[in-house]
Amino acid sequence: MAEILYEDNHIIAVYKRSSDLAQGDKTGDAPLDFEIKKYLAEKYKKPGEVFLGVVHRLDRPVSGIMLFARTSKALSRLNEMFKTRQIKKIYLAIVKERPPEDEATITHFLKKNETQNKTYVYDNEVKGSKEASLTYRLKGRSEKYYLLEVELHSGRHHQIRAQLAKIGCPIKGDLKYGFPRSNEDGGISLFARRLEFIHPVKKEAVTIIAHFPEGDIWSVFMDSIA
């Protein structure tokens, strides 16, 4: 079972490993939401189907925080909060190349190719594209790599992966977007580190922070992030 990072009567947040599947797909592998439903059914002795709403997604090779709703009220409110950008989403990314600036907000137009399951990035709007923006900050460096903190301002398909690749900084291990080698665990070095939001029901400030992934080279950068 995935590690629980936060849990109350309305929401639950878990630690998604890079090998975990967020939701069921054509692979047939057991998805994370199935595991959580089983955990909730056993813990609270719930008969029948357990309600669990998916409010956002992480690509399979990405690790970090996954947030789920335990009630329909929380689900509808969280969906609206994500849509209206009321939830602060902070990611960490390890890249090979130093970005053009140490801190910048970048805006592009993204268009998903369904057949390739890949997003293409344009400087100007093209037919079928959607505007996307993020802010990155250079937070650390090692002998070979750089650590970027990324605040996501929109939630497009493969957004961070595609936009960082566009500025010459493909994420470590991300073959799809131009990194030359895969990571040993098959994941990529993109990590959903922190979520900050007002609780959809309790109306209290909530901050959820995930511990660094094990292995890879994350340990080199542990002192770079508070």
CATH at 14:
3.30.2350.10
What b/e readout covers 15-31, taking b as 16+ CB neighbours within 10 angstroms?
Answer: bbbbebbbeeeeeeeeb
114 pLDDT band, cuts 50/70/90, is very high
Q: What is the mean pLDDT of the chain?
A: 92
pLDDT digits (tens, 9 = 90+) for 19-59: 888 765 565 567 888 899 999 999 988 888 899 999 988 88
The model's confidence at residue 1, banded by pLDDT at 50, 70 and 90, is confident
pTM as predicted:
0.92
Nearest to 121 by CA among 67, 164, 74, 171: 164
Find where tokens 């996501």 sit. 152
Q: How many domains does the chain have?
A: 1
CA dist., res. 118 & res. 165, Å (int)? 12
**Structure tokens given for 40:** 């909730």
CB 65 within 8 A of CB 13: yes
Domain assignment of residue 165, given as a range: 4-224
Q: pLDDT by residue (tens digit) across 120-168?
A: 999 999 999 999 999 999 999 999 999 999 999 998 999 999 999 999 9
**pLDDT at residue 212, rounded to an integer:** 86
Residue predicted with more confidence, 49 or 208: 208
pLDDT score, position 221: 86
pLDDT of res. 147: 96
Q: Is 59 annotated in the active site?
A: yes
Separation CA 226–CA 221 (nearest Å)? 11
Confidence tier at 220 by pLDDT (50, 70, 90): confident
pLDDT at position 216 is 59
Q: Which residues contact 48 (CB under 8 A, 6 or more apart)?
A: none
- Which is the catalytic residue, given 59, 185, 216, 223? 59
Distance CA 188, CA 158 (A): 12
pLDDT, average across residues 78-86: 94
Q: Are 37 and 47 within 8 A, CB to CB?
A: no
Q: Using a pLDDT cut of 90, give the percent of the chain over it.
A: 76
